């Protein structure tokens, strides 16, 4: 299978490496920045390009992993290819392809990627959607080559998944950052908190989070809540987050 | 070493099992509910008691693992013991012992415990504080028997740790719960989100969270933020949390 990777960021990099590990042939990597294209193309043995017009029309799969607002432009440039074209965005409807005659689909990885950090692709849920059943079946085979966690998800539900991932990943990471900030201001090391962070995530791997909620808010431990707010009296923003989330915990349970 | 465990909840249960695994002798388990005392005493081979007056005065260590507001009453009941007395609370100052003549200290586990779930005590940071250096040294030996992660932390810093743990554990778990709620309302399974939750926690094990923040807020991706708020238009509480945390992410970076 010959693949063209359009994009060179975190998502593109992890897909390119995963395809390579599964003996697919990466023939081109495009980035508007030629250096970025060259960097990823270098490790995967592909040709780096920075002009969309140079894209090889004979590939089997075109993987679009660029910023959401750049997707339409890329699709226009791919108008004449015969292979399958997929985007990887959580927030972009499959309708973005609707004016085209191509075999299109979506291959959305519900995972957080960093370029620096290796990731086991077996732990990447892949959400697929396609133009028609035939394209979907073909995309499913490709997805299963990369990960056992393949889900058929339409655009509406993919939007919901993306939203829930903002809560479970982006906002969660920000809470980690705030807790680190609280520690640092008091000469305490984030190291001491890392085992708790791990265990909190491990706990919900075979339980539902609402069933394992702990802490002062769910216990209605007003004395502790008052003490905590007192500690945050000079940090109105943190106090606001503390109050908003404590109120929400009490309301849910 | 002979130990009396005062309390039979999550913290008491995990400490009791950890002591037993390290060949300490659990001689009594107290709970105001005799059945609860009997349950934990049964697995650890101790005597179950429900009257504080029955506590054996000849033990080496008295571990207080009860609700914060019950600690003073327990301390009063232990007035005449000769062994070391420690509480396990993050939010309770060591000053709670100040009127006593006992050898006192604090052994605070910075971890989240569930009775149902086994936990490797090697991954439990133990924060210790004591009346004097001699007691601290003795407590340090006991703590190191249970876990390699032993930290000397005074009451003021322990309060800060406890507060930061509310952000990194209790609030994080609530965000998991909210994301599950969003999924369920749309017939999507929480299963699909679990790998992302794990990876988000794994990522900060050797990085600082502010350095690995991702998502629409840090990218200033207003289009996605608007779409997400639109999806939450009938959920004012979730929308409020979305806005509060997005604002905070933008402000931090």
CA distance B192 to chain A (A): 6
What residues in chain B have per-residue pLDDT under 50?
none
Residue B152 DSSP SS3 = strand
Concatenating the DSSP letter of every residue in A151-189 gives: EE--HHHHHHHHHHHIIIIIIHHHHHHHHHHHHHTTT--
| Residue of A69, A112, A241 with shortest CB distance to B199 | A112
Asked if ipTM goes beyond 0.90, one says yes
Mean pLDDT of the region A28-41: 96
Residues of chain B contacting residue A208, judged by C-beta atoms under 8 Å apart: 177, 180, 190
Say if the Cβ atoms of A168 and B179 lie within 8 Å.
Answer: yes
For residues A119 and B191, the model is more confident at: B191
CB A128 within 8 A of CB A139: yes
Mean pLDDT of the region A47-61: 97
Cα B108 from Cα B162, distance rounded (Å): 10
Q: Please give the helix or strand (H or E) that residue B5 lies within, else none.
A: strand B2-6
Domain extents in chain A: 2-153, 159-252
Distance (Å) of CA B189 to CA A74, A163, A234: 32, 14, 41
pLDDT of B229 reads 96
Cα A122 from Cα A134, distance rounded (Å): 25
Which residue in B172, B178, B192 has the most chain A C-beta atoms within 10 A of its own C-beta, making it the best mutation to test that interface?
B172
Cα A179 from Cα B164, distance rounded (Å): 5
pLDDT of B105 reads 98
Pairing of β B103-109 and β B47-49: unpaired
Neighbours of B236 (CB within 10 A): 9
pLDDT of A170 reads 98
CA distance A118 to chain B (A): 10
A193 touches chain B (CB under 8 A): yes
Residue A146 DSSP SS3 = helix
CA distance B53 to chain A (A): 28
Residues of chain A contacting residue B169, judged by C-beta atoms under 8 Å apart: 196-197, 200, 214-215
CB A167 within 8 A of CB B185: no
- Please give the CATH superfamily to which domain A2-153 belongs: NAD(P)-binding Rossmann-like Domain (3.40.50.720)
Cα A46 from Cα A29, distance rounded (Å): 6
Say if the Cβ atoms of B173 and A241 lie within 8 Å.
Answer: no
Residue A28 reports pLDDT greater than 80: yes
Query: pLDDT digits over B18-53, tens only?
Result: 999 998 999 999 999 999 999 999 999 999 999 999
Residue B152 pairs with which residues in a beta bridge?
A: B128
Query: pLDDT digits over B195-233, tens only?
Result: 999 999 999 999 999 999 999 999 898 989 999 999 999
Say if the Cβ atoms of B237 and A214 lie within 8 Å.
Answer: no
Say if the Cβ atoms of A123 and B224 lie within 8 Å.
Answer: no
The listed CATH number (3.90.170.10, 3.20.20.70, 3.40.50.150, 1.10.1040.20) that belongs to domain A159-252: 1.10.1040.20
A234 touches chain B (CB under 8 A): no
Concatenating the DSSP letter of every residue in A81-123 gives: --SEEEE--SSS-GGGGTT--SEEEEEEE-S---TTS---GGG
Residues of chain A contacting residue B239, judged by C-beta atoms under 8 Å apart: none
Cα B111 from Cα B99, distance rounded (Å): 29
Minimal-distance CA residue of chain A relative to B209: A177
- Token pair, residue B65, equals 């693992």
Residues of chain A contacting residue B251, judged by C-beta atoms under 8 Å apart: 237
Mean pLDDT of the region A166-182: 98
Residue A116 reports pLDDT greater than 80: no
Q: Give Cβ neighbours of residue A96 (< 8 Å, ≥ 6 apart).
A: A71, A72, A75, A87
Instruction: Identify which of B227, B202, B200, B217 has the alpha carbon closest to the alpha carbon of residue B252.
Output: B217
Q: Give Cβ neighbours of residue A65 (< 8 Å, ≥ 6 apart).
A: A5, A6, A7, A9, A11, A12, A15, A87, A88
Cα B9 from Cα A219, distance rounded (Å): 14
């Amino acid at each position: 299978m010959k693949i063209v990777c359009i994009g060179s960021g975190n998502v593109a990099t992890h897909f390119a490496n995963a395809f390579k590990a599964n003996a697919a042939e990466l023939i081109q990597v495009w980035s508007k920045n030629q250096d970025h294209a060259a960097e990823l193309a270098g490790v995967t043995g592909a040709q780096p390009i920075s002009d969309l017009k140079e894209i090889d029309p004979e590939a089997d799969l075109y993987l679009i992993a660029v910023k959401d607002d750049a997707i339409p432009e890329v699709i226009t440039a791919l108008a004449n290819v015969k292979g399958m074209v997929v985007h990887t965005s959580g927030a972009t409807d499959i309708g973005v392809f609707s004016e085209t005659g191509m075999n299109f689909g979506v291959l959305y990885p519900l995972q957080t990627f960093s370029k620096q950090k290796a990731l086991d692709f077996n732990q990447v849920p892949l959400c697929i959607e396609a133009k028609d059943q035939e394209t979907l079946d073909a995309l499913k085979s490709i997805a299963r080559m990369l990960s056992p966690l393949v889900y058929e998800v339409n655009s509406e539900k993919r939007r919901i998944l993306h939203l829930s991932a903002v809560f479970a990943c982006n906002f969660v990471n920000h809470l980690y950052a705030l807790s680190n900030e609280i520690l640092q201001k008091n000469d305490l090391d984030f190291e001491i908190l890392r085992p708790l962070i791990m265990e909190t995530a491990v706990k919900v791997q075979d339980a539902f989070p609402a069933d394992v909620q702990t802490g002062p808010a769910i216990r209605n431990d007003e004395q502790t809540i008052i003490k905590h707010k007192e500690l945050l009296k000079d940090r109105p923003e943190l106090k606001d987050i503390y109050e908003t989330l404590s109120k929400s915990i009490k309301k849910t349970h």
